Structures are given as structure tokens and as C-alpha cells.
Amino acid sequence: MGVGAVQRRETATPPAPGTRAGLIERLAAQTAEREHASLRRRLRTIEHAEGPWLESDGRRLLGFCSNDYLGLAQHPQLIAALKRAADDEGVGSGSAHLVCGHRREHAQLEEALAEWTGRERALLFSTGYMANLGTMQALLARGDICVQDKLNHACLLDGAQLAGAELKRYPHADIEAAARQLASRPGAAALLASDGVFSMDGDVAPLARLAALCARENATLMVDDAHGLGVLGADGAGSVAAASLGQREVPVLMATLGKALGCSGAFVAGSAALIDGLLQFARPYIYTTAMPPALAAAACTAVELARRDGWRRDKLQALIARFRADAAQLGLPLLDSPSAIQPLLLGDAQAALNAAQALERHGLLVTAIRPPTVPQGQARLRITLSAAHEDEHVDRLLDALATLPRGGSAGRPV
Ligand SMILES: Cc1ncc(COP(=O)(O)O)c(C=O)c1O
């Protein structure tokens, strides 16, 4: 999940002087505050998934909230690759990459990812969160600055803070403000990090202008393309390739395997010097068990299919166009997004929850995204489309959206 806000939590009620706060009691009080503000998060168990259909609480719901943008998560070839590798190699990798966990399947996947993204080398991480933490922690030191878009994903923000660099944020996609942040510490080593496609808004970062700024200011550009890989670019190589930027302009490219590729895990791609350095210094790479080799085998098949099946991207684009055109007819307050992420801004957290519940009554699952994942007053339905959807699914969603109350209090689009 993305986040626009750096989370800082205050002590709920200060303890009496000389009394030590009970940590779990304090946490419980903070959870109760969230409940009160309609911001409490709840887990839902999905009993079964079949394409875009999800079963939960004994009901079959049509889902519009998964990141399986190309519809690969249940592809028979991925399943076969996973089974084959599990038959041959077992389940767990047994250790960290640098001990004896780095298997042939990992090496093959790294080669395929480097080739696809046009980078010298790639390095696998178990999750995107770890990839961003590890990369920033290896690259940055105290005294450096890390300049970031305010709507960057939580793990980029956390990465800069954990690395001890000074985090300097700029208003969303505002290049001049980014330039001012870089200019504020001209002597400091600088990393400028941006989502390629913003996870909660769906828009694409001004990558060419960010690259030009970094070249001018001698800053290193890092792009997190979790939501662009597989979806954008001629053969799905992502938002950076779509902007015709190579390794020189974007020396640090990170993307995940758990979204359009339908698997799990992540990678960083770049020069041999970058990858060698990460191998030495990225603690979330070094001190953790390598992902199961069977998962790497499935991801390798996903890369082949994502590159080859241009029809999946074409179908997704056609569904996006259909949805946007009809939503505009209905006057729905969609954000301006060309990607599979089509957020419907509702403003108030309770309004977003009400809208999600109303859709569920129509047999649709769309999650309400509320602060702190998005800024205050910008709660929304994060609608996502996938090549696994059909035209009639999109029409069904639009029919249900058209019934949401307007002009009343709860559920009113702003
Ligand atoms: C932009 C972005 N970066 C990184 C991540 C984290 O990736 P992972 O789920 O593999 O930890 C996500 C979402 O999960 C994301 O949306």
C-alpha cells in the first residue's frame, strides 16, 4: 500500500509522572482512537480466488482491488513452473542468498529481469519493502539528503529515515520544488526517489524532467516502478522504459514481482557497481532467507508471458478507456490516471467506507483507502482494473457506482 504521510503517532494519554506507560495498553488506546475516527483497519479473509472473482464470508464478489494487473497470478504456466521447481528443489531455499540459498532459479530470474529492463544486472529481494529499505540503507549515510515526492510509497519514506539521511519532501510531481530541495543542501550527496506510477493515485511521475534535474544537480535518481512494470512500455518494461530513460538517467530501478507479474518478491536493477554494492551492504538482502526457488521459477515464466503477451496490456488499456469514458459520463470524481489504478476520490473516511459497503451489497469488492495511507480529507475507493476483467465486469462496476448516493452526507463524492 502506498502512503502520502510519514506516520508519527503521539502518545494517546500521557501517563502520570513517574509511571511507566504500558506499551500494549497504549497501542490499544491508539487503535480505539482509529475506530472512533472511522480509520480502523480490518482484515478480511478471502476463502477462494478465481480470476477477478473472490469468495469471502460465503459470498462471491467481483474484485476491483487486486494489483494482478495482467491477470497472471493464476496462469497455468506459472502454476506449472512453480510445481515443477518445487518437485525438483523443494519448498524453502534453506538459507540466505550469500550462504547457500542462491539457486539456479534465482540467477535465471535476475538475468531475465536485467535483460528486460535494459540494465547490467539485477538483484532479487524477498519483498519490495525490503528492496527499498536495503537499497537506501546501502546508498545513503548520515549527512546525505533524500529528496522524495510527498506521495511516494511508505517504504521509500521509511527507507530514507532508517538510513539516517535527511528526508526532504516536495509537493506531488512539483519539479521546481524538488529542485529547491536539492539546492537547499548543494554540498550533500543526494538521492532523488520517486514512484514511477503512484500507488494510490495511479498517475505517472514526470520521469524525464526528474532525470534532467538529477543530471543537472549531480543527484542519483531512484525509481520504484512497482505499478509500472508489466503495464507500461512497449514490452511492459515499465514507466522508465516508456519515458525512454536508460540506466544512465535512472541508475537505480526497483520493481516488484507481486503486482503485474502475479508472484511475490522484488528486484533492484542497475550497474554492476550498484548491484555489487547492494550485495555487500544491503542488510535486508544479506540477513534474510532467499525467496523459495519455485517462486523464482514462476516469476521467470511471468516475465516471459508479460513480455510476450502484448494483448494483455492492450486489453487492460481498453478496459481503462471504457471505464474512464463511462465514469466521466456519470460525473464520477475520478483522479486523472492513465494506469490500472483508477481512484474515485470521496474525501471523508466514513464516506469511503459507506461507498465500499454499498458496492459490496452489489456483489463488488473495492477497498476504501483512508488516512494515513492517503492524506487527510482524501479518502477514496482505489479501483484497480486487470486484464482478467471483461467489458461486462466494468459495466457492472459502473452500474453500481452510479447508484452511490450523491449530494447527501455519507457516500457523497467530493
Ligand atoms: C510503490 C510500491 N513500492 C513498494 C511496494 C512494496 O512491495 P511489496 O509488496 O513487494 O513489499 C508497494 C506495495 O506493496 C508499492 O505500491
Mean pLDDT of 392-407: 92
Q: Measured from the CA of 257, which atom of ligand 1 is nearest?
A: 10
Predicted local distance difference test score (pLDDT) of residue 38: 86
**DSSP-based three-state secondary structure for 6:** coil
- Beta strand 48-50 with 53-56 is antiparallel
Q: Which parts of 331-414 fold into alpha helices (H)?
A: 349-361, 391-402
Ligand 1, atom 5: closest residue by C-alpha: 128
Q: How far apart are CA 381 and CA 249, in angstroms?
A: 34
For residues 98-123, give the mean pLDDT. 98
**Per-residue cell: 382:** 482505489
Question: C-alpha grid cell for residue 326?
Answer: 463511462
pLDDT digits (tens, 9 = 90+) for 23-67: 999 999 999 999 998 888 999 999 999 999 999 999 999 999 999
The pick from 149, 199, 263 for probing ligand 1's pocket by mutation, whose C-beta has the most ligand atoms within 8 angstroms, reads: 199
Confidence category of residue 411, pLDDT binned at 50, 70, 90: very low
Q: Is the CB of 224 under 6 A from ligand 1?
A: yes
- The structural domains of the chain, ordered by start, are 43-70+310-402 (3.90.1150.10), 76-308 (3.40.640.10)
**What average pLDDT does the segment 183-187 reach?**
96
**Residue 1 pLDDT > 70, yes or no?**
no
Q: Which residues contact 392 (CB under 8 A, 6 or more apart)?
A: none
- Pocket test residue of 129, 149, 264 for ligand 1, highest count of atoms within 8 A of CB: 129
pLDDT band for 248, please (50, 70, 90 cuts).
very high
CB of 256 closer than 6 angstroms to any ligand 1 atom: yes
Q: One-letter amino acid identity for 239? A: S
Q: Which atom of ligand 1 approaches the CA of 152 most closely?
A: 1
